[in-house]
Structure 1
């Protein structure tokens, strides 16, 4: 990750990255295509803050692992 990226949310299924986004709201909206009964943004955020990973199954039974990575080198956007 470069220093201007604060965090990223990643969904993994069958050892492959299925979906990723840097915005939690957009991530949850995008994941609703894969897991229609996925938790709300606030519930997912709580799970990720507690353990860094959340697990879900879609209706077909495919397991998904949701990971949250925070960039320790984040510097933000500097005004020039």
Structure 2
């Protein structure tokens, strides 16, 4: 996996958001609420996934193995 994965997933999320925007066209009085809920859900899910993915890709603290013995 590379650092480009969040970019491609972001493009897919934007595409899904646009698709949901078009799919909820003229669906009644709650159209704006439905669109807002879908777009906010996609945005929050993408941001949560991207932050966790990038934190694992480039950790701030180098992991240390605890099962090693120190040689004298």
- TM-score normalised according to structure 2 size: 0.29
Bigger strand share: 1
- TM-score normalised according to structure 1 size: 0.27
Bigger helix share: 2
